[in-house]
Amino acid sequence: MAAPWYTRRMVRSYAVILPVAVLAACGGRRAAVAPPAPPTGDLLVVNARIHGAPAGADALLAERGIIRAVGPAAVLREKVPSTATLLDANGALVLPGFHDAHIHMLGGGLSLGQVDLFAATTMADTLKAVKAFADAHPALPWVQGRGWQYGIVPDGKFPTRADLDSVVPDRPVFLRAYDGHTGWANSAALNAAGITAETVDPPEGRIAREADGKTPEGALLEGAQGRMMEAVPAPDRAAKLAALERAARELRSLGMTSVDEIAPGAETFSLLDELDRRGRLPLRVTVSLPLNGDLAAYAVLRDAHRGPRVGFGFLKGFVDGVIESRMAWMLEPYAGSTERGTPALPPEKLDPLVERAHAAGFPVALHAIGDAAVRASLDAYEKAQRAHPAQHPRHRVEHIECVHPDDMPRFARLGVVASMQPFHANPGGPNPDEGVWSRNLGAARLPRTFAWKSLRDAGAVLAFGTDWPVMSANPLWGLAVAVTRRDANGDPKDGWNAHQALSWDDAVRAWTVGSAYAVSREEQVGTLEPGRWADLVVLSPGVDPGVPASLWRGRVVHAVVGGVVN
């Protein structure tokens, strides 16, 4: 969940191409999938450049939410039902709908009503934004926000309570870093949470201290945020419903037709169910829940959510933290340090959790950023598979910012999906290795960071997402970084670790069929193949795969879910 830029630092002719090793690891069997019952929608798309279609196929016909044919418009017009919506693509590119494999809808929706710090690159700009928001919302009992960057404080240090006290001294302020792994509080917030010099660090986190080694400085790392989160006023059900609806509309407008929601708890199912009943859920959502939860209760939810809109996804666990704070777990020490990071779930705790989930048929997704965390995740999956070979859930590793070469082939051999977020690797300037992220890792490890191509070449299935609100939810920007390893300004000129860039087809595949495969829906969505659900996006006419810079300027003009146009 880290990004060098924040710290200055497809489908082939309708064929689902998956490595033989992956299918073999799954025993040749597919996991249970939701029944094919998409919403009704008749649609004819014409004047289109359809991704993966043969020459001359410039139209797509969908009936009752299912793609029936792709071919010449002159032929398909003769078959179109009278109830069909006619959609003229104006010569633009048509892709399968984007499927975000890793997103935080509730958090993202809530953040839309908080102070947004993503654009601030200095401490002065950050504090200015906080003060402006606080002044504009005097009735809010707490000022909350997200998006501050580690680079606003030099030399790997953290921002302090005194910084925030200087602009908002009279009420609590709590701001999450862009990656969510570090919180920043003012004095009023620390007092409200009861975080004092006597408060001990939790096992899974750390409280930044002042020079005396006792007084809380204002930064709360990893699990040290837990006590603060208990003090922050919790949104009620109405606020959560509104946040999820805002998030869903935002994501659909950006071209997301399916998402994998990393949910904080089971209530997310009932919230999404309510939106779906009201006809206010414009995309498909698979919901993940915490790995350490009640599997019996999860089984009930799984059985109740096999429909086309709201489905049960996977169980999420955290193996480590982030590289900026040196909480990501590494095989070798960080550059200029003896620290290797501390696992949030060491193997003696991780392995039993993974095994019990695997035995019950639940897919597991493990947050693993450092190469030691990635290895421990793969080890846990391998042990579970050996202990329960009759089960074949599709496990995944999330983020994989640094991976050891010895572990790359293990993804395909074990059938583990590499779930990654390409926009995390946005260089953000001509010198991306000057920031704390790159400096912490050291030059020797940088060539195997965000190693999409190496993993793909080793046979891994890639599933792409955004990690919104950690990063922008715009999949076109993610595609741009994936195929160029450059930012919106074309920096660095030769690309950042350009040997890890993907081809256009591989990048689109990771955003569509790869993500669908990760949740066992590749037979319903992910390709524009007859028989699949009619989930697709129409891009603006100027988007050209041969001109990657056009992806930064382009947009999604139409997002279609089940044949229904937004």
- Domain ranges for the chain: 38-97+529-566, 142-231, 238-525
Give me the CATH topology for the region 142-231.
Diaminopimelate Epimerase; Chain A, domain 1 (3.10.310)
Question: Torsions phi, psi of 367, nearest 5?
Answer: -70, 115
SS3 of 429-451: the string is: CCCHHHCHHHHHHCCCCHHHECC
The whole-angstrom separation of Cα 243 and Cα 240 is 5
pLDDT per position in the chain (566 positions), as tens? 433 332 322 222 223 333 333 333 333 333 334 444 555 689 999 999 999 999 999 999 999 999 999 999 999 999 888 889 999 999 999 999 999 999 999 989 988 889 988 888 899 999 999 999 999 999 999 999 988 888 888 877 899 999 999 999 999 999 998 878 899 999 999 999 999 999 999 888 899 999 999 999 999 998 899 989 999 888 999 999 999 999 999 999 999 999 999 999 999 999 999 999 999 999 999 999 999 999 999 999 999 999 899 999 999 999 999 998 898 999 999 999 999 999 999 999 999 999 999 999 999 999 999 999 999 999 999 999 999 999 999 999 999 999 999 999 999 999 999 999 999 999 988 898 888 899 999 999 999 999 999 999 999 999 999 999 888 999 999 999 999 999 999 999 999 999 999 999 999 999 999 999 999 999 999 999 999 999 999 999 999 999 988 999 999 999 999 999 98
Start-to-end CA distance of the chain, whole Å, equals 31
Give the pairing of strands 66-71 and 115-116. Answer: unpaired
The whole-angstrom separation of Cα 387 and Cα 498 is 40
Helix and strand numbers (H, E) in the chain are 19, 23
The whole-angstrom separation of Cα 135 and Cα 430 is 36
Residues facing 278 on adjacent strands: none
Q: Name the E strands within 363-474.
A: 364-368, 396-399, 417-420, 462-464
Structure tokens belonging to residue 428: 């953000």
Structure tokens belonging to residue 111: 């953040």
> What element of type H or E holds 347?
helix 347-359
Angle at 281 between CA 275 and CA 282, to 5 degrees: 170
Half-sphere exposure of 524 (CA within 13 A, CB side): 26
Name the pTM for this structure.
0.84
Phi-psi region of 510 (alpha: psi -120 to 50; beta: other; left: phi over 0): alpha
Per the CB < 8 A criterion, the answer to whether 43 and 565 are in contact is yes
Q: In what order do the strands lie in the sheet with 143-148?
A: 115-116, 143-148, 173-177, 182-185, 216-222, 205-209
Residues facing 93 on adjacent strands: 49
Angle at 528 between CA 523 and CA 529, to 5 degrees: 60
* Chain length of the chain: 566
Q: Give the pLDDT score at 40.
A: 66
| String of DSSP letters for 466-517 | --TTSS---HHHHHHHHHHS--TT--STT-TTGGG---HHHHHHHHTHHHHH
Per the CB < 8 A criterion, the answer to whether 284 and 258 are in contact is yes
Q: Give the pLDDT score at 79.
A: 86
Structure tokens belonging to residue 512: 């569509």
Give the pairing of strands 216-222 and 182-185. Answer: antiparallel
Instruction: State the virtual CA torsion across 458, 551, 105, 149 in degrees, nearest 10.
Output: 90
Q: Give the pLDDT score at 7.
A: 30
> What element of type H or E holds 380?
helix 371-387
CATH architecture of 38-97+529-566: Roll (2.30)
Given CATH 3.20.20.140, say whether it is the number of domain 238-525. yes
Going by C-alpha positions, the residue among 410, 405, 402 that lies closest to residue 383 is: 410
Per the CB < 8 A criterion, the answer to whether 51 and 512 are in contact is no
The whole-angstrom separation of Cα 118 and Cα 145 is 10
The whole-angstrom separation of Cα 514 and Cα 32 is 17
Q: Which residue has the tokens 């030099």?
A: 154
Largest Cα–Cα separation, the chain: 80
Going by C-alpha positions, the residue among 156, 158, 148 that lies closest to residue 125 is: 148
Per the CB < 8 A criterion, the answer to whether 446 and 392 are in contact is no
Q: Give the pLDDT score at 89.
A: 97
The whole-angstrom separation of Cα 148 and Cα 143 is 14
Q: Give the pLDDT score at 543.
A: 96
The whole-angstrom separation of Cα 359 and Cα 229 is 33
Per the CB < 8 A criterion, the answer to whether 428 and 5 are in contact is yes
The whole-angstrom separation of Cα 535 and Cα 282 is 11
Q: Give the pLDDT score at 81.
A: 87
